[in-house]
């Protein structure tokens, strides 16, 4: 035990005593010379020179305790490449921040930030900030236990850098390198539990509803909604769904062709208890080989700093304020060919009228795109279901956003079938009548006068988040279910109109901004009030 404690005592002394000026004050190492600068015998800075050219390539400053406070680097030809600072905390930890260099100058943009403990020469990571490398916005903070490389807690930050929610996560250790979260709890900044999530385990609609602390009347109302087998199915093909979320539990489809939980394939489609859909994953290497009726999300922290359920967000948007429809979710990897094939067969067999597709699988032969046979079965879904209306996200990107240009195809949005509504995203989270002329396509949204047909809110759109509560998300993936929701409400107003007739009216009533048409077929923005008015007028004829 004494041997283990001794180095800690030494480090403590080093960090609390001023560091004497090094001797010698100049050290040569190959082509570089380091020069130490001191004041009253104490080190306060050092710099490095490339001796072949005499160019300064590095510089560091130190505090009165000899601890590094800043570090700068230049290339051998004098280009400024690096600036970082060390801020020391009262608890002995320090925060290292790395800044963006632009035009040979330091900016106030931080591109890397982390807190450490222990010896500054060999520190232990305590937490790090998740920062976007496009806008340098701080999205989250990851907290680590000592000597563990996966965070146990993840904070969500708003634009002001304030914590709005945090998650405590449990990982799927069957795939330790994949950063798959199998379970988590969500809390307010004050530590109050918002909700929890488990990827698997027993599930019952009636039992889950009792967990929501509903009044007796509201509990019975929601249970009656679920038990209503006359509701129309709405298919959503997406990543997965938090069926335990208050906005979705009672909206799961209770199929008249199936008996929930009886362990029998009642409708003879080869699947047991698939009333509200199924999940397909096909990556055995990541322990993601799935083919079952559990449509709950498999959360990954590879592309997002905290657990985000794309499908939960989309489904809650599509079915918002609607109790006459039931969610059928095809969850998992949307690029698996037999997954698409079975989804298409289900849509045909069950005569599904409305489908939301907030996904893209690239285009045939492109890197990172789906296998070629997946495109065949994706296209077959549209061909085999000509009376079904498919609401499709136009897609997101940072460049080459015009889908009309050769080589910019992005499927399914690039297909040209009559039974599709392809939706681009606006730079707003909602529609306000007095601001309709100010809305523009979001900077990330794909567009095209022949490939995209209408625009809808898609920036900062608030909807359901896994584990409870809500979250704002950006994307044409949000714009599509916004339109799906409007179409479903219109269908309730006038069930006599076919899905394709609803599409025609939706495009005809699009709002054209005073500044001119937007880059899409209709030239405008989805206009719910005008659309509903046209739908009711058609009913009264």
* Residues annotated as part of the active site: 238, 310, 477
C-alpha 336: how far from chain center: 21
Asked if residues 59 and 72 have their Cβ atoms less than 8 Å apart, the reply is: yes
Q: How many residues does the chain have?
A: 541
Two tokens, residue 180: 């798959």
Residue pair 407/384 in contact by the 8 Å Cβ criterion: no
Query: Helix/strand/coil (H, E, C) string of 41-102?
Result: CEEEEEEEEECCCCEEEEEEEECCCCCEEEEEEECCCCCEEEEEEEEECCCCCEEEEEEEEE
Residue of 424, 405, 389 lying closest to 499 (CA atoms): 389
Neighbouring CB atoms inside 10 A of 228's CB total 14
Instruction: Name, in order, each residue with C-beta under 8 angstroms of 208's C-beta and a sequence gap of 6 or more.
Output: 243, 244, 249
Residue 74 tokens read as 């230049």
Could you identify the residue written with the tokens 């077959």? Answer: 380
The answer to whether the CB of 98 falls within 8 A of the CB of 123 is no
At residue 381, φ and ψ (nearest 5 deg) are -60, -45
> Helix 372-384 crosses helix 337-349 at what angle (to 10 degrees)?
10
Mark residue 435 as left, alpha or beta (left: phi above 0; alpha: psi -120 to 50; beta: remaining).
alpha
For 184, 280, 386, 388, 401, the CA distances from 235, given in Å and listed in that order, are 27, 15, 15, 11, 28
Query: If DSSP codes are grouped into helix, strand and coil, which group holds residue 488?
Result: helix
Q: Which of 335, 323, 340 is nearest to 390 (CA)?
A: 340
Coil, helix or strand at residue 36: strand
- The 10 Å Cβ neighbour count of residue 373 is 14
DSSP letters for 108-169: EEEEEEEEEES-TTS-EEEEEEEE-TTT--EEEEEE--TT-SS-SEEEEE-TTS-EEEEEEE
CA separation for the pair 376, 220 (Å, rounded) = 45
């Amino acid at each position: 035990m004494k041997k283990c404690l001794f180095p800690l005592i030494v480090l403590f002394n080093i960090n609390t005593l001023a560091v004497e000026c090094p001797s010698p004050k100049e050290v040569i190492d190959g082509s570089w010379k380091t020069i130490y600068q001191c004041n009253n015998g104490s080190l306060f800075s050092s710099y490095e020179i490339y001796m072949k050219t005499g160019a300064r390539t590095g510089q560091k400053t130190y505090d009165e305790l000899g601890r590094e406070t800043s570090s700068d680097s230049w290339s051998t030809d004098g280009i400024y490449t690096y600036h970082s600072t060390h801020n020391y905390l009262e608890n002995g930890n320090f925060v290292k921040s790395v800044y963006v260099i632009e035009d040979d100058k330091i900016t106030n943009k931080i591109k890397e930030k982390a807190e450490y403990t222990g010896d500054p020469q060999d520190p232990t990571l305590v937490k790090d900030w998740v920062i976007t490398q496009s806008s340098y916005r701080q999205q989250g903070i990851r907290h680590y236990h000592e000597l563990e490389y996966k965070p146990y807690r993840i904070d969500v930050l708003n634009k002001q850098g304030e914590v709005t929610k945090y998650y405590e996560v449990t990982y799927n250790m069957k795939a330790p390198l994949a950063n798959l979260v199998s379970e988590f709890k969500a809390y307010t900044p004050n530590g109050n539990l918002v909700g929890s999530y488990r990827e698997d385990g027993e599930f019952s609609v009636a039992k889950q509803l009792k967990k929501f602390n509903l009044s007796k009347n509201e509990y019975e109302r929601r249970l009656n909604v679920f038990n209503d087998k006359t509701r129309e199915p709405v298919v959503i093909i997406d990543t997965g769904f938090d069926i335990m979320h208050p906005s979705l539990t009672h909206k799961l489809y209770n199929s008249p062709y199936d008996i929930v939980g009886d362990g029998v394939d009642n409708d003879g489609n080869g699947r047991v208890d698939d009333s509200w859909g199924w999940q397909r994953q096909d990556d055995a290497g990541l322990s993601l080989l799935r083919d079952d009726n559990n449509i709950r999300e498999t959360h990954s922290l590879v592309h997002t700093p905290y657990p985000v359920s794309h499908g939960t967000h989309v489904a809650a948007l599509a079915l918002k304020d609607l109790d006459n429809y039931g969610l059928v979710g095809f969850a998992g990897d949307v690029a698996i060919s037999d997954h698409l094939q079975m989804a298409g067969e289900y849509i045909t067999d069950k005569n599904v009228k409305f489908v939301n597709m907030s996904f893209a699988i690239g285009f045939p032969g492109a890197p990172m795109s789906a296998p070629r046979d997946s495109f065949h079965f994706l296209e077959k879904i549209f061909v085999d279901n000509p009376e079904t209306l498919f609401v499709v996200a136009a897609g997101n990107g940072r460049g080459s956003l015009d889908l009309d240009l050769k080589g910019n195809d992005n499927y399914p949005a690039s297909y040209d079938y009559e039974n599709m509504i392809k939706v681009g995203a606006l730079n707003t989270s909602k529609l306000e009548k007095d601001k309709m002329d100010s809305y523009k396509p979001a900077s990330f949204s794909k567009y095209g006068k022949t490939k995209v047909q209408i625009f809808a809110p898609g920036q900062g759109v608030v909807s359901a988040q896994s584990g409870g509560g809500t979250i704002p998300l950006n994307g044409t993936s949000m714009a599509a279910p916004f339109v799906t929701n409007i179409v479903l409400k219109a269908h309730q107003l006038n069930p006599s109109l076919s899905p394709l007739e609803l599409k025609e009216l939706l495009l005809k009533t699009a709002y054209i901004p005073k500044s001119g048409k937007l880059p899409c077929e209709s030239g405008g923005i989805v206009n719910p009030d005008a659309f509903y008015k046209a739908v009711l007028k058609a009913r009264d004829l």
